[in-house]
Amino acid sequence: MDSVFGLAGKDFAILASDMAIARSILVYKHDVDKIVQLSDNMIMVGGGVQADNVNFAEYIQKNFKLYELSNDLKLNTKASANFVRNEVSRKIPKLPSASRRSGWHACGFSPILLLCHR
């Protein structure tokens, strides 16, 4: 079971995650970083199957970079949250377990599945 927490204040956001990969009563690793930097000012925390987390985070990172290179424009928080939420909704039926994701931007905390922009 993964633990992912997010806390938002007036001018700050805190994201936290456990660092263990476990299944049933076995703990495979104790030092995995589940927080991924999507761009210069955005990070994402993932929970669920670690292989799906890594694959999805790399997919999102590469798509943000592709958008930036092809349009000479970085995605803002709202557009990024919409993109990630859309990709999660397309991929959840295909995943063996649903993953919960939250993201942080300089403007504040934005739980991607529940709220688009704060």
Q: Is residue 118 part of a domain?
A: no
Tell me what pLDDT residue 106 has.
43
Q: Is residue 116 part of a domain?
A: no
Q: Can you tell me the distance from the alpha carbon of 24 to that of 117, in angstroms, rounded to the nearest whole number?
A: 35
Domain count, the chain: 1
**112 pLDDT above the threshold of 60:** no
Range of the domain at 52: 4-110
CB 21 within 8 A of CB 50: yes
Q: Give the dihedral sign, CA 53/54/56/62.
A: positive
Q: Is residue 99 part of a domain?
A: yes
Residue pLDDT, tens place only, 85-107: 888 778 766 655 444 454 444 44
Q: Is residue 79 part of a domain?
A: yes
pTM, 2 dp: 0.71
Q: Is residue 115 part of a domain?
A: no
**110 pLDDT above the threshold of 70:** no
CATH number of the domain residue 62 falls in: 3.60.20.10
